[in-house]
Amino acid sequence: MILTPTSSNKQKAIARVSTPTSGGALPELVLYLLDYGMDHEEIKNVVRKFPAFAYYNVDRKIKPLVELLLELGVPRSGIPGIIRKRPQLCGISLTDNLKPMMAYMENIGVNKAQWSKVICRFPAFLTYSRQKVEMTVSYLTELGVSKENIGKILTRCPHLMSYSVNDNLRPTADYFRSIGADAASLIQKCPQAFGLNIESKLKPITEFFLEREFSIEEIGIMVNRFGIIHTLSLQENLIPKYEYFLTMGYPRYELVKFPQYFGYSLEQRIKPRYARMTGCGVRLILNQMLSVSETRFEEILQKKSGGF
């Protein structure tokens, strides 16, 4: 096999973490990571994806990062997952990059107490350039999101930082505005919707409702009331639940008033509640039928069954 420079470098890096030292022991990097629960094959897989990792000095690069993560509250068991997802994090200077970036993020409202959750959820969060972060924050401000809420959004959904302002955030906000949704409110309720493809994911959901005679205005109301509606699966969620909705005899506008209907389990919540309600000879609005606790649902049925 003829090795290209890239594949040759990768082979050398893998050999570096695979070959025992002259004393017969595994390399220090491997021993250190084994102690944190990574197995040898996982370490080699990390190196296959990111060969430079094999050359990181344990004392100068990896230990300081791991110690910082532990100080932030990341459990020992969470260290392997972070390294698997983003080994590049080990190569970033703590004093010159990571800590200043964390201070900047905290200044814009990222919850300091939640760093461990943020990093475990999305280790790449701290690897973006200051310019990229400022561009995203600037756009969210332009959209009408307050500084306090920007921090809350990034704490809850750090993946938002991976979305391009020009390729994802701006066109998606424009699309939601075009159907009457409040983009600033929506990005706070459901930031993950802004990472979806407009043509293949968002438009088909809108078309689904248009084909069933919902107006654009009604769809906008539904999005404002139930922000995740465009993130749901057509085949596994919207279609079967809508088909069942048609059998219940409710007017279509009930869904406009309570689009959260699509967020409940068809088999575990909707069908059993509807069967129980009709069995009592009672008619409740969707909200009342689905959103209350089991105890409250039974109380309502008992109260109304005498009058219906």
Q: By CB neighbour count within 10 A (0-12 exposed, 13-18 middle, 19+ buried), where does 69 fall?
A: buried
61 and 12 in one domain? Answer: yes
86 and 99 in one domain? Answer: no
Q: Which of 121, 144, 162 is the last residue of a domain?
A: 162
- Is 209 a domain residue? no
CA distance 18 to 11: 10
- Is 234 a domain residue? no
| Cβ–Cβ < 8 Å for 165, 158 | no
Q: Determine what percent of the chain falls in helix, strand and coil, rounding each to the nearest 5.
A: 75, 0, 25
Pick the closest to residue 58 from 75, 35, 86 (CA basis): 35
Mean pLDDT of 20-33: 83
Q: Which pLDDT band, with edges at 50, 70 and 90, does 109 fall under? A: confident
CA distance 155 to 117: 8
77 and 1 in one domain? Answer: yes
108 and 75 in one domain? Answer: no
Specify the residue for token string 């190196």. Answer: 47
| pLDDT given for residue 8 in this prediction | 81
Q: What percent of the chain has a predicted confidence (pLDDT) above 70?
A: 96
CA distance 241 to 160: 29
- Is 29 a domain residue? yes
- Is 52 a domain residue? yes
Q: Which of 137, 162, 187 is the last residue of a domain?
A: 162
102 and 149 in one domain? Answer: yes
Look up the pTM and report it.
Answer: 0.81
Pick the closest to residue 105 from 67, 167, 161, 27 (CA basis): 161
74 and 32 in one domain? Answer: yes
Q: Which of 66, 91, 116 is the last residue of a domain?
A: 91
106 and 73 in one domain? Answer: no
C-beta atoms surrounding 115 within 10 Å: 22
Mean pLDDT of 141-146: 92
Range of the domain at 145: 92-162
pLDDT over 70 (residue 12): yes
Mean pLDDT of 141-150: 90
Mean pLDDT of 219-230: 96
85 and 29 in one domain? Answer: yes
Q: What percent of the chain has a predicted confidence (pLDDT) above 90?
A: 81
pLDDT over 80 (residue 5): no
107 and 23 in one domain? Answer: no
Query: What is the tens place of the pLDDT at every residue in 54-102?
Result: 999 999 999 999 999 999 999 999 999 999 999 999 999 999 999 999 9
CA distance 283 to 285: 7
Q: What are phi and psi of 73, to 5 degrees?
A: 105, 5
- Is 270 a domain residue? yes
**Tally of domains in the chain:** 3
42 and 124 in one domain? Answer: no
- Is 150 a domain residue? yes
